[in-house]
Amino acid sequence: VIGLSQLSRAAGDAAGEPKLSTLREGGSLEQDSDVVVMLWKDREETPVGAPRLINGAVAKNRNGPTGSFQLLFESEQARFFSKARDDGGMPA
């Protein structure tokens, strides 16, 4: 099961990586979920047509490691790509 959640209003004012505590209704999500992945973009502008850098973090992983990663988002086709283009540039 995949669920989506928005961040609390306070998280919108804060810069940087969101935390588990910034999830709206986060207490139950934090407790009940096996994996929580968060995606966010920096506030800097991206030229029209250029892929946008998206930051991500595995904030919780009950059965594995956590950590950060980066993706590129191509809005024209709504596709995510690995930031490392040496992998052939295939969509994630």
* pTM score of the predicted model: 0.74
Q: Which helix (H) or strand (E) holds 67?
A: strand 67-74
Say whether pLDDT at 41 is over 60.
yes
Identify the residue with better confidence: 14 or 72.
72
47-91 per-position pLDDT tens digit: 887 889 999 999 999 999 999 999 999 988 899 988 875 555 444
Question: Which string of DSSP letters, residue by residue, matches 9-59?
Answer: HHHHHS-S---GGGBTTHHHHHHH-SEEEEEEE-SS---TTSPEEEEEEEE
Q: Which residue carries 């904030």 as its tokens? A: 59
How confident is residue 92, by pLDDT bands cut at 50, 70 and 90? very low
Structure tokens at 67: 């950590």
- Please answer whether residues 7 and 18 qualify as being in contact, where contact means their C-beta atoms are separated by less than 8 angstroms: yes
